[in-house]
Structure formats: C-alpha cells, structure tokens
C-alpha cells in the first residue's frame, strides 16, 4: 500500500468522523411538560436553539415533551432522563425523597396568580369554614390552600377537602353553583369568569414560594448543565423581545399553539407567571434567605402530609442545600441542591 493511498484513507476517515461526529457525541435527554412557564422548552427544541448550544459543548441534547407531568418526574427519578422541569415541591417529594441527588440549575419563574382558590359559596378565606373544597390533594394546590388557611387562622380541619382530578375540576366548578376549588391555569382563567365566582387567594400572595425549575442529576456533565442554561436564556431573549419584535412574535406564537390555545390566551397566562427573563432576576429570587424560608414551608408541609418515605421520621430526614452551601435538614443525606453557579455564568456572559 503506497504512502499516498494511506494518506488518502486517513483523510477519508477524518472526513467521515467529522461528518458523523454527532453519532459519537455524548447524548442526553431532558423532559418537560405543558405549563405556561415551561412552554419555552418546546420552542428551544424546535427552533434549533438547543442544537446550537449542545454543539458548542460537543454533546447531543434532546428535549422531550412528556404530557403527564408527574410521570415525567417519575421517569427522571428512574434514570430515564438527565433533567426534568418541576416545581420546587415536587423536586423534593419525588426524586429527592426517592434518594436521587438533584440540582436546580435554572429557576425559570414563580407562580404569580396561576394557582388560585376560586369560590362560589364564600366571600373570603374565613368564609370557607365548614365548606367543601375540591382540589388535587398533595399537590401545589394543597400547599397553596394550607398557606392561605394558615394566614387566616384556619386549618384543614375546618374544611372538607375532596380529592378531584385536574381533568374534572373545571367542569365540576362550572356545573355546580356552590362549588369551591383550588386549581391552576389554564383552568383558573376558564372558571374565574363564571357569574358568582370569586378568587379568594392566589399565588401572588406568596411570591416566590411556588418555583418552577429545571433540575438535573447533580453528577451530570458540566457540558449538559451549561448547554441547558445557555439555551434557556437565549430563548428568554426571544420571549421578552430583546431579540426583536419579530422573534418575540414567532416565539410566543409557537408556544401558544403548542400549548393548545390562542396567542391571547397564552399572553393572559403569562401575566400571572413571574418569568425570570434574565439570569440576574432569577438569582435575585434565589437568595439563600428567601429560599430557606420557602423550602422550610415546603418540606414541613410535605412531611406532615406523608410525602416523605417510610422510615423518615422528620422533615430533616432529607438535606436541602441552598446557594450559599448552607443546609436545611440532614447534612449527610443531601438530595436537593439549589445551584446558582450556572445562572451566574450566564449573567456574566461566561457560558
């Protein structure tokens, strides 16, 4: 075999591996489910933003829609995904309680009215005493109700709670002139206009407590974490108009259609979603002192409702690490971490 032929074969091999490099790149999958603050992940996947950031770090990342929210977190907990969108409460009560060490690397928004107590039989929270209230038990709705009752000197013992599927709760409210419910958007927007309906309390009264995050396995590759954060904040510049009006219209139009509604409906939901369009804004709401108070409420509520695993005898059984490295709970069993470092990189233009 001549030197020229060997050289030609070498060049051919280099060309082949260059053209097919994605087939040999490290591959990752993250899951998301439908919610106003998470529709951006579908846009990130379809627009090519994710591919752009993955290529920058020499990896492949697939962003997968899972229509069942709880199932998406269960699949992540089982190791089927490297990351998943979740609320702060569900990040604790499913993967963390299940022994999976996770880090919240993006805090995307907080519910600022998306979750609400809507009544037809009472004019205020005190007026719910002795009444029936429908909700998805042990969900964020349950947490919202507990906070509202606590702020008004009541407890769950003062009410009759009826566990109701989110698929049924809107229709039951509309068909029953005396129904009282706790639910979330888009259901809240659908039922609040009914004659006689009153919003007694919503998540804007507990700002920053119902956080929507992207969690990844703590030991996940740094390249994945950086690619996800970079892609997210590029999408945020599209959503908030920083990338131009045309880009904003395209992004919001896509998200509205993806969510199964009109642009107007999606924009209405955004009004009650406190989006953190910049990493600096997210970091502001991820202050250790604020997160400590929030997660203390969440962990105690979760423990008292039996959401901790059998054998866990207190809310301290699982450790929660805050951005300043302080710990709530067991320092030897840290399973949920709030890691601001990647958002800080984004804020400083270092991704």
| DSSP, residue by residue, 60-108 | EEEEEE-SSHHHHHHHHHTTS-SEEEEEHHHHIIIIITTT--EEEEEEE
pLDDT band, residue 344 (cuts 50/70/90): very high
Average pLDDT, the chain: 91
Report the candidate in 182, 224, 215, 218 with the shortest Cα–Cα distance to residue 201: 182
Per-residue pLDDT, 199: 97
Q: What is the pLDDT of residues 60-118, one digit of tens each?
A: 999 999 988 888 999 999 999 999 999 999 999 999 999 999 999 999 999 999 899 99
Per-residue pLDDT, 9: 36
Per-residue pLDDT, 138: 77
Distance CA(60)–CA(53), nearest Å, equals 9
Q: What is the pLDDT of residues 247-276, one digit of tens each?
A: 999 999 999 999 888 999 999 989 999 999
Whether residue 134 is predicted with pLDDT greater than 60 in this model: the reply is yes
User: Would you state the structure tokens that stand for residue 212, as one six-digit string?
Assistant: 């929507």
Distance CA(63)–CA(81), nearest Å, equals 10
Q: What is the pLDDT of residues 328-337, one digit of tens each?
A: 999 999 999 9
Q: Are 147 and 297 in contact (CB under 8 A)?
A: yes
Whether residue 121 is predicted with pLDDT greater than 60 in this model: the reply is yes
Per-residue pLDDT, 221: 97
Bridge partners (DSSP) of residue 201 are 117
Per-residue pLDDT, 16: 38
pLDDT band, residue 186 (cuts 50/70/90): confident
For the chain, what percent of residues have pLDDT higher than 90? 78
| C-beta atoms surrounding 12 within 10 Å | 10
Q: What is the pLDDT of residues 5-27, one digit of tens each?
A: 333 333 343 333 333 444 457 99
Per-residue pLDDT, 183: 92
Q: Which domains does the chain have, with CATH numbers?
A: 24-110+209-347 (3.40.190.10), 115-205 (3.40.190.10)
Report the candidate in 225, 347, 340 with the shortest Cα–Cα distance to residue 280: 347
The pTM (predicted TM-score) of the whole model is 0.83
């Amino acid at each position: 075999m001549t030197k020229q032929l060997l050289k030609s074969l070498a060049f051919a091999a280099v060309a082949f591996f260059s053209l097919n490099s994605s087939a040999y790149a490290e591959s990752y999958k993250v899951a998301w489910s439908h919610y106003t603050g998470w529709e951006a992940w579908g846009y990130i996947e379809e627009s090519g933003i994710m591919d752009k950031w993955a290529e920058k770090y020499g990896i492949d990342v697939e962003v997968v829609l899972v229509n069942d929210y709880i199932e998406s977190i269960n699949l992540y907990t089982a190791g089927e995904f490297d990351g998943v969108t979740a609320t702060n409460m569900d990040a604790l009560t499913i993967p963390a309680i299940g022994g999976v060490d996770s880090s919240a690397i993006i805090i995307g928004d907080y519910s600022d009215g998306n979750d609400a107590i809507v009544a037809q039989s009472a004019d205020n929270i005190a007026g719910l005493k002795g009444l029936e209230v429908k909700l998805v038990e042990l969900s964020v709705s349950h947490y919202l109700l507990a906070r509202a009752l606590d702020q008004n000197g009541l407890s769950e013992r003062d009410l009759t709670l009826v566990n109701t599927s989110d698929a049924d709760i809107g229709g039951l409210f509309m068909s029953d002139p005396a129904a009282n419910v706790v639910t979330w958007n888009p259901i809240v927007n659908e039922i609040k206009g009914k004659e006689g309906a009153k919003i007694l309390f919503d998540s804007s009264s507990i700002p920053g407590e119902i956080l929507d995050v992207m969690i990844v396995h703590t030991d996940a590759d740094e390249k994945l974490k950086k690619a996800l954060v970079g892609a997210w904040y590029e999408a945020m510049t599209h959503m908030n108009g920083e990338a131009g009006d045309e880009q904003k219209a395209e992004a919001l139009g896509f998200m509205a259609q993806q969510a199964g509604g009109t642009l107007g409906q999606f924009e209405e939901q955004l009004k009650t979603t406190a989006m953190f369009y910049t990493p600096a804004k997210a970091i502001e709401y991820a202050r250790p002192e604020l997160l400590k108070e929030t997660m203390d409420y969440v962990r105690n509520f979760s423990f008292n409702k039996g959401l901790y695993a059998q054998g866990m005898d207190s809310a301290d059984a699982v450790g929660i690490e805050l951005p300043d490295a302080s710990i709530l709970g067991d320092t030897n069993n840290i399973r949920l971490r709030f890691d601001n470092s990647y958002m800080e990189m984004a804020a400083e233009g270092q991704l």
